[in-house]
Amino acid sequence: MTTSPIDPIKLDKLAEVAIKVGLQLQPGQDLVMTTPMSALPLVRRITEHAYKAGAGLVQTIFSDEEMTLARYKYAPDDAFDHAADWLFEGMAKAYGNNAARLSISGDNPMMLAGQDPSKVSRANRALSKAYRPALEKITGFDINWNIVAYPNTEWAKLVFPDLAEDEAVHRLAEAIFAASRVDQPDPIAAWKAHNAQLKDRWTWLTEMNFASLHYNGPGTDLTIGLADGHRWKGGASEAKNGITCNPNIPTEEVFSVPHAQRVDGHVSSTKPLSHQGSLIDEIRMTFKDGKVVEAKASKGEDVLNKVMDTDEGARRIGEVALVPHSSPISKSGILFYNTLFDENAASHIALGQCYADCFEGGTAMSAEEIASRGGNQSLIHIDWMIGSDKVDIDGITQSGDRVPVMRKGEWA
């Protein structure tokens, strides 16, 4: 009998944290879970903890790498212009009936690296359009939702290419457990303390009500105007259904909504971006009046520009997030090739859709009201890292004064 490279006790703790901290699943509440097939050991444990918490019905939708690749090898060309809209309409209906949503991240980040970029782009565009009804329930924070990760073998081999397969999976699993705080004696208490610290940060930022943030560092001189009536968030948040959840596990960020028309200057990425099977590295962007007017990358530039051609909002930003350089994920020194982790290693911005809940009273606002306050709308939401121990950030007050927010990547 072989021993699993993944610690079963910590895996069970991760499942418990997903239900009790990530979702705070309520008695009688249904759960819709999406997951790669490879994460089945975690899915089974999450399902157990969900029913122990009183879940009504747990419904899981699986994906599989071999089946995904079969589409790219054998499907007719026009198949890449549609997606399963009926599935996402059903998910939106479930969320409308107060089902919680849990996503397990763990696919091989480079799964589509060898496929035709045009087909990948078309398939993503079709998927984004079909997913919209369900996504709006999530970005509008109608329900409690959460993302956790599982150490897929192909992902582990990408992160630790010099290790034997089992050792790579073990190392990735341990890194996931540490970042998710389930390597601690009482993970739920650890999350309570962490959420309190994040709340102190975002409360101060909201009270300051900065007009903009100014970033200065190597290759970066960028001013990000903040949306009218913005507020900051981070860690645990209350959804419209009254349930407090932690959408991302792990998380080290506090975040808000920029004004889609008020971003100016140039900025350079500080870590690579892994997106749909492509690594996009050394990104350099220039913004004018909120819009990207020039985008370069040493690797993956064509993919980056295809993504920004998705729609009008794809060349503007919808999220600004602050993360200290000393965050546990940054200190691990690991490039995860997975945004859930890599975005928590550095301050970042996101091209595309904003979060309605980052406005005071935003969950009750229409899309038109959000847009009038400066909130961006798009089919995409792609985070990329612009913070490091060489980047300073100042808050610019409504009267034009400068207040230090971060110095050399740390809270000032």
Mean pLDDT for 305-333 is 94
Helix, strand, or coil (residue 46): helix
Res. 1: pLDDT tops 60: no
Residue length of the chain: 412
Mean pLDDT for 166-183 is 97
Domains and CATH numbers, the chain: 8-179 (3.40.1830.10), 204-232+251-411 (no CATH)
Kindly write down the DSSP assignment for every residue of 293-305, as one continuous string.
EEEE-SB-HHHHH
Residue with token string 């990207």: 292
Question: Token pair for residue 264?
Answer: 């100016």
Res. 196: pLDDT tops 70: yes
Q: What is the dihedral of CA 89, 90, 92, 95, to 10 degrees?
A: 180
Phi, psi of 191 (to 5 degrees): -70, -35
Question: Token pair for residue 109?
Answer: 């980040």
Kindly write down the DSSP assignment for every residue of 331-392, as one continuous string.
HHT---S-HHHHGGGS-EEEEEPPPGGGBTTGGGS-HHHHHHTT----S-EEEEE---TT-E
Q: pTM for the full model?
A: 0.89
Per-residue pLDDT at 145: 97
> What is the C-alpha separation between 382 and 50, in angstroms, rounded?
30
Residue with token string 């949503």: 101
> What is the C-alpha separation between 401 and 232, in angstroms, rounded?
20
Mean pLDDT for 241-247 is 96
Kindly write down the DSSP assignment for every residue of 172-224, as one continuous string.
HHHHHHHHTT-SSS-HHHHHHHHHHHHHHHHHHHHHHT-SEEEEEETTEEEEE
Contact assessment for residue 210 and residue 403, using Cβ atoms and an 8 Å cutoff:
yes
Residue with token string 């418990």: 16
Per-residue pLDDT at 151: 97
- Fill in the amino acid letter for 32: V
The whole-chain average pLDDT of the chain stands at 95
Mean pLDDT for 52-78 is 97
